[in-house]
Structure 1
Amino acid sequence: MNVLPEVLGATELSNGFLGNLVQVCFVTRDCRRMMEGFVRLGIGPWTIRTVDASNIEATYRGRPADFSVKVCLANGQNMNWEIIELIRGQSIYTEFLDRHGEGIQHLAFNCNGIDYDERVRQFEARGYEAVQAGTIFGGIDFHYFSAEDDLRTTVEIYRVPAGFVFPQPEEWYPAPPPGT
């Protein structure tokens, strides 16, 4: 028999640990088409960067990963939007496209004051498998945990070091912000 957590308040359960939803990621075969759709909805501008062996060290299902993707990011007032287009290789993005087609591949949550390594341990203690993990852009640690059985999606957590500066994007869509 499942023991349900205690309800502590209108927005809190006794077993809560995720933090706030901070990012929604879509996987696509055509990032340009998807960015155009978001821009029509008023979301953007978008940064575009290529992620490959030059700027990511990752594991995929416990083995060294070798893949390349286009990562497109746009910030809203309280949400980061991400679009990933697979270029080559095996990854959780390939799996998602093969199983589901294009769509929402993962949700990212902040650590809400909980130490990153402790957050990883909490996922593992609850039986969630880290299906992809690593470091991107020389400083951002990330873990993707499969929540397919529970949510039909993946959950990501990441750690951005204080003072971290993202590399300049290769491109902006539809254009860079004024003064950039």
Structure 2
Amino acid sequence: MDGLLQLGIGPFQVFDFTPNTVLKQYFRGQVGSFELKVCFAKHGDLTFEIMQPTAGESLMAEFLNQGGKEGVQHIAFDCHNMPMEERKKEMRERGFEPAMEGIWKGRKGTCNFCFFDTEASTGTIFESIEFSEDWEDPEFYWYPQPPAKNVSYDED
């Protein structure tokens, strides 16, 4: 995060993904149990995400265990309101299976996420995300500190 802060990207919202905050966790076709620190920083129209695996099996832990490399592990897209089940069906028809997925609980609403096993074909993993219309962020903290009070985080 400090490297991105140095580039002017941040501050970061830091969330805990655990079995209590992410329902229906699946990893490589099996019921999973992973824990991650997930950090978001908005910069213009882009959202930067940093994920740190803290427990269990995850694509992020696999990535880091491949010779200790760090860097871009996945790219996320939203598919313009296409329901997640349709996204999964379309990706399966293209030959890509879900590799990791779950339902993140917000204060209100949910975020359905699915990482597809696209690395062999594209060099990276592709993630699709679907926020419910009533989504409100769950509890988080800011790193290194909240944005200035006179700055709207959504407009950064």
What range describes the TM-score normalised by the shorter chain of this pair? Answer: 0.7 to 0.9
Q: Could you tell me how far 1:152 is from its partner in structure 2? A: 1.6
CA RMSD between the two structures: 1.6
Consecutive unaligned residues of structure 2, counting only runs of 5 or more, are: none
Q: 2:59 aligns with which of 92, 97, 102?
A: 92
Counting matched residue pairs gives 145
Distance in 1, Cα, partners of 2:92 & 2:101? 13
- Verify the 8 A CA contact 2:81 2:130 in the aligned structure 1: no
Distance in 1, Cα, partners of 2:120 & 2:27? 19
Kindly name which structure, 1 or 2, has the bigger radius of gyration based on alpha carbons.
1
SS at match of 1:128: coil
* Correspondence list, 1:17-166, <5 A: 35-57=1-23, 58-99=25-66, 101-137=69-105, 139-166=110-137
Give the equivalent residue in structure 2 for 1:28: none
Distance in 2, Cα, partners of 1:66 & 1:118? 25
- Superposed CA deviations along residues 69-114 of structure 1, whole A, max 9, x for unmatched, are 1111101111110001111111111111112521111000121243
Distance in 2, Cα, partners of 1:159 & 1:113? 7
TM-score by length of 1: 0.75
Consecutive unaligned residues of structure 1, counting only runs of 5 or more, are: 1-34
Percent identity at matched positions?
A: 32
Q: Could you tell me how far 1:178 is from its partner in structure 2? A: 3.1
Q: 1:176 aligns with which of 126, 141, 146?
A: 146
TM-score by length of 2: 0.86
Q: Could you tell me how far 1:47 is from its partner in structure 2? A: 0.7
Which 4+ runs in 1 deviate beyond 2 A?
Answer: 112-117
Distance in 2, Cα, partners of 1:79 & 1:93? 21
- Verify the 8 A CA contact 2:26 2:101 in the aligned structure 1: yes
